[in-house]
Chains A and B, each alone.
Chain A
Amino acid sequence: MRYLIEHETILDYPQTVREHHIELRLAPRSDRHQQVLSCSIETEPAAELATYTDYFGNRVDYFCVIPPHTRLITRLRSDVETVKENPFSFEAVQPGEEQEWLHKAIRNAPPMNDFVLHRSLLTPTAMKLAEATSHAFPRREKERPVLESLQELLAWVPTVMEYRSGSTEVHGSLTTAVAQGGGVCQDFAHLFITVARSWEIPARYVMGYLDPGISQAGDTLTTHAWAEALVPGAGWIGFDATHNLLTNDHYVAVAVGRDSYDAAPQRGSFKGEASGAQPAVSVTMQEQQ
């Protein structure tokens, strides 16, 4: 598929702010699933953008607006081509050897440890979450193939939570979402990640876009979130727990991290009397011919 994505964020402040520094993780990544044909970011007031690649491999665009201002707008426009593939077409590793495959993958790339060891309010210890919410969490039988276990997990997450737009706060605790039985896509992704990590399978958070034709969010399109888990023989495979789907060519991935905090699309710091503004975000994703 080919998509034109536009993502605009408007920050309005009741008083002037100054010395405003912003980091954006908005540029879609390029990998074997998707190719970025064009990508541009503009800001209002106009600023000089610089870029670097962060620890998780995300492209970060950053800039500053020093003089006093009350409004800051960022606009991304990107043309991305996604590739349709069969997520099951890989050379599977024998179930008995999968654990060793994962251990080796982690040993060869120590940063992979983060995707197993990281715990936060967003991705807590599974046992504590289960206790706090009195849910029976699925256990993994070691002789079952990893992918099969993960698919069961994918189907299990929506039985615990239902999708409720605006029901939880950005970077809010996962325990709250599970306890109230409802959340948004971040919560679904975090729950999937939390359980996968308790099985010692590396799992990470993905922020990106989903074709509005499929998305539960419908008209109020914003960014979407899902999880990726490391599957022996295949590498990272995308799991969208909100829709109980393996990700496909309707998904455009932007940034990854240990949890939603690492992959936040926009982060800023400013000086001034105003407290933080509620960002007005509008996203469009149009299929291109």
Chain B
Amino acid sequence: MTIFSDIGRYLLMIKGMFSRPENKKMYGKELIHQCVEIGIGSLGIVTIISIFIGAVSTIQTAYQLVSPLIPKSTIAQVVRDTIILEFAPTLVCIVLAGVAGSRIASELGNMRVSEQIDALEIMGVKTKTYLILPKILAALLMIPLLVVIAMTLGIWGGRLAGVSSGIISGQEFDAGLKLFFDPFTVKFALIKSYVFAFIISSIAAFYGYYVKGGALEIGRASTKAVVVSCILILFADYVLSALLLKAN
């Protein structure tokens, strides 16, 4: 029963977000603040993860392609598609569920427990619109950008690892990158990143906004938000792949 009431409350929360702001300027400021928190705040970890994932992909692909009949440029082609289709959107979003999602849940949870949300409510501020909507919009704006950065850095990291370890030359890697390139893969990755961004921000906001109790419950809500987001991201990943790649 809890799962149904949770789904109901989640849907009501989403519905409650869409009301007219009291002061558009204040909401705009909050949106920019959240863009900085989610975008700039997660840039460091996204950079590190992307470079290393790209590097590891190149080395592992080269390790598996032992046949002399397969040209070395195939390594770049495999790395490119793996990073664009899966690693950049899915892996980065799972990491972002931990970084940005837990931050959103704990921030809202702390505000709820310390009565800051009640204080806003009594002032006449529509708390769902003011606190949740800017976070979701910021995630929808910043996470796809982070995914694009992750794609670029991942491929660059792969090239760097391949060239520096002597697996593949720079020219071969660049040639492989252009080989059978389908622009739909980038479009598909972006569609996934929008869906994942919504999941990360709205699930975290839900668990944070409805926290009851104290510090311990904030921690639990934060953990639950990350776990549920990760599961939903993987589920959505499967559904989107099955629908969009098949149709293509």
A and B are partners in one complex rather than unrelated chains: no
